[in-house]
């Protein structure tokens, strides 16, 4: 089985692959689609065309579509914009009228996962950020992480996601509702393909 991944940056794509690969059977491979794009490019006609062409060329069985909400879960307008992207993209990658997209909508952004395992971040960058009571209510996770390391020799940037996020403790990041919802959805899509994989159990 081949799973394609579309995300807002190459480091986000690698982060998702790094999180999922240890949880799935060894014969499941991943492919990075539309490399070197940025979040603002996802809605463009050019990117949508590239997604369609690369999916046709690679023929993945499933395609993970990762998008930052850049908002909180109750912000209806941003939710509607994200859903519009998912609907439009799922429409162009269908096979025989069956969707193969698996939507991952990150609240506020993918870096929110790092806030759930702040000890990992603190150890990596030699800082002492406190654990937030509700990381999914944080409106600028990326900004918090950058500010915490702004005076350090090693400063956090989005390009670190591909290495940092797969190191996060599974039993902590599963507390992120957006991530747990995605895993349930992925489990269901894999089951449709005849694969029984307990992704949630592997986080406990």
103 exposed, middle or buried (CB, 10 Å; 0-12, 13-18, 19+)? buried
Between CA 28 and CA 19 the distance in angstroms is 14
Q: For residue 99, is pLDDT > 90? A: no
Question: Hey, what are 32's tokens?
Answer: 């990075």
Residues 176 and 169: their CA atoms lie apart, in Å, by 12
What is the average pLDDT across 104-131? 96
Element (H, E) at 92: helix 76-92
Report DSSP letters for 34-72, one per residue: STT--GGGTTSHHHHHHHHHHHHHH--SEEEEEEE-SS-
Residue 83 in tokens: 């859903």
- Hey, which bits of the chain come out as E strands? 2-6, 29-32, 62-68, 101-106
Residue 36's pLDDT is 79
Are residues 14 and 162 in contact, defined by beta-carbon separation less than 8 angstroms?
Answer: yes
pTM attached to this predicted model: 0.95
pLDDT at 10 over 90: yes
pLDDT, tens digit, for every residue of 177-189?
999 999 999 999 9
CB of 181 within 8 A of CB of 187? no
CB-neighbour burial class of residue 32 (10 A; exposed 0-12, middle 13-18, buried 19+): middle
Mean per-residue pLDDT for 73-79?
A: 89
Rounded-to-integer distance, Cα 2 and Cα 30, Å:
6
Indicate the pLDDT class of residue 169, thresholds 50, 70 and 90.
Answer: very high
Domains of the chain listed by start with CATH number: 2-111+157-203 (3.40.50)
Higher pLDDT, 72 or 150: 150
């Amino acid at each position: 089985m081949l799973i394609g991944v579309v995300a807002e940056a190459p480091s986000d794509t690698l982060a998702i692959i790094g999180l999922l690969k240890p949880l799935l059977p060894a014969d499941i491979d991943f492919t990075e689609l539309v490399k070197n794009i940025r979040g603002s490019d996802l809605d463009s006609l050019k990117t949508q065309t590239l997604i369609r062409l690369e999916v046709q060329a690679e023929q993945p069985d499933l395609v993970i579509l990762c998008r930052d909400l850049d908002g909180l879960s109750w912000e209806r307008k941003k939710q509607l914009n994200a859903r519009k992207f998912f609907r439009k993209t799922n429409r162009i990658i269908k096979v025989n009228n069956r969707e193969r997209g698996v939507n991952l909508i990150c609240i506020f952004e993918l870096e929110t996962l790092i806030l759930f395992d702040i000890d990992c971040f603190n150890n990596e960058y030699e800082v002492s950020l406190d654990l937030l009571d509700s990381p999914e209510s944080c409106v600028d996770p990326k900004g918090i992480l950058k500010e915490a390391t702004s005076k350090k020799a090693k400063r956090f940037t989005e390009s670190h996601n591909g290495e940092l996020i797969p190191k996060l403790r599974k039993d902590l990041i599963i507390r992120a509702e957006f991530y747990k919802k995605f895993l349930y959805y992925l489990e269901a899509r894999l089951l449709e393909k005849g694969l029984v994989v307990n992704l949630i159990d592997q986080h406990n």
